Every structure is written in C-alpha cells, then in structure tokens.
Amino acid sequence: MTVQTLRLAAPAKLNLYLHVTGKREDGYHLLDGLVAFIDVYDELTLAPAPSLSFSADGPFAAGFGDEDPSTNLVVRAAMGLAEVTGRVAHVALHLRKNLPVASGIGGGSADAAACLRGLAMLWGIDPTDPAILGVAARLGADIPVCVVGRAGFIGGIGTELTLAPELPAAGLLLVNPGIGLSTPAVYRARKGGFSPPDRLTQASVDARELVRELAERGNDLTDAAISLVPKIATVLAALEATEGQLLARMSGSGATCFGIYEDAEGATSAASILKHHHPDWWVAPGRLLSDTSSLTL
C-alpha cells in the first residue's frame, strides 16, 4: 500500500424523476428514476493509520458524536471492503459533513461510496472490481450509483443501474427546510397506484430540452412527503417563484427540493434571494454533473 492521504468529494445525488412502478411481496418498492449529481458535496479524508478510526465535523456533524461508530455507513463500508478483500482496515476516516442528513439527496450513501472509492485507491484495487459494488449493494440501495458516479437510470429496488445519456450543462439549486424525513415513513404514507417506467431515450441538447423531458415525468413520493412535512410545498413554491427557474421538484423521499436553471449563475442568483428571505433554510447552488470523476479535491 502506498502511504498517502486522500481527500474525496462525496457529491449530493438527485432524483431528477422518480416513479414507483410496483411493490414486491417483501414490502420493497420497485423504482424507475434518473439519478444525477451536483457539485455540492461532503468531503471524506482517508489516511493510513495504526487502526480504523472515524471522526466528523462540519455544519451537519452534530449527530455523529453520540453515534456508535460501527453503525456509521462510512465505517461499515471500510469494514465491508476489508472483509471481502482480505485486508485490515487500518485507516483514519474524517468526514466533513456539509450535506443535511435524512434529506433525500443521498448524503450518507455518497459518503460510503467515497470511502469505497478511496480505499480502492489506497489498496490498489481495480475500481471496476465487482467486490466494490457488491459491498455497496449490501450497505444500501443508493450506494452503488454513488460508487459509479455517473448519471443513470435506477431500477428494481434502486440497486439496478443503467447509464443514462449525457446530461446537458445546467444550474441547480438545492433547498432544504431544515427538517429530516424518514424514507420508510414516506413510503408508508404513499397512496394510490403505480407509474410505468419512462426512461429518457436520448441526450438533451440543453437545460430547457432536459426540463421538457422531465416535466413529462414526476416524483411519485412528493404528495406523501408533503403530508408529513407540509413545509416542502412552501419550498417548492419558493423555488418556482425565483427568476429563471425552469423546473422545481423534490428529490428522492425529501425533504430537499431542487430548482433547475439554464446556468450556474441563475442558480446562484436565486440562492441569494432565498437565503435572504429564508435564513433558516439550507440553500446550496451548484452545477448539474453527468460524471463525478472530474470532481476532485
């Protein structure tokens, strides 16, 4: 192993659309959706050490101090990859937690995926080794797509991934009202039937064309999430009222919502206005990413 310290981005994951297509006998829901990423991220540092350790800081790290480290997804990722590769996880892990937790943007999943990618680099493991995705899938449905780091369509219970056509440049604005939301609770609150899969078949030339495609699809968990956290509707209305917004939608099971703009400047301008009017909200502008491999720290 080459002795070195790595610092990796763990970018937020967005569901540009999310259809619930059915439900298995074991209670898991079947999904169809388009996942992409934004250059708003947690930061994970990995360094060789005498033993496995984990620490965290940042604006959303408050809950980690009382947590049993062995239950943390980042630690579990390190232990899982060490077990399947016959290694000992002698590594110090430090997480800068910039993304809100339980917020529908895959923060914990992105952190675990960054750990798996980082350990593969430290340990000289081929990043395409099936063992990495195998560990990821056992840890959580969102983690494999975060490991791959490419825009893609999810299927099955969320673990099946098909790469999507390249996404166009666009500005994105993430907004969370400061309320965590349990994914299982949202699924339990969901009512109604199911939606058919409806995957995009070709690349969009620009943000406006992408939005036209997305507008024909939706997020089937939105109404259920709003029934639990009505402030989500307030966030969506605030995004829709910003100048230049092309589409406002909730991501995943919420409560984070996003707005799409033609460029990053439009998203940044809208962010300034929302921060002024809603100082208690988490507001983060950025850029839509098809591929996070170029996102380095």
Residues tagged active-site:
13, 142
Phi, psi (5° rounding) for residue 265?
Answer: -65, -40
Task: Yes or no: say if 194 and 22 are a contact pair by the CB < 8 Å rule.
Answer: yes
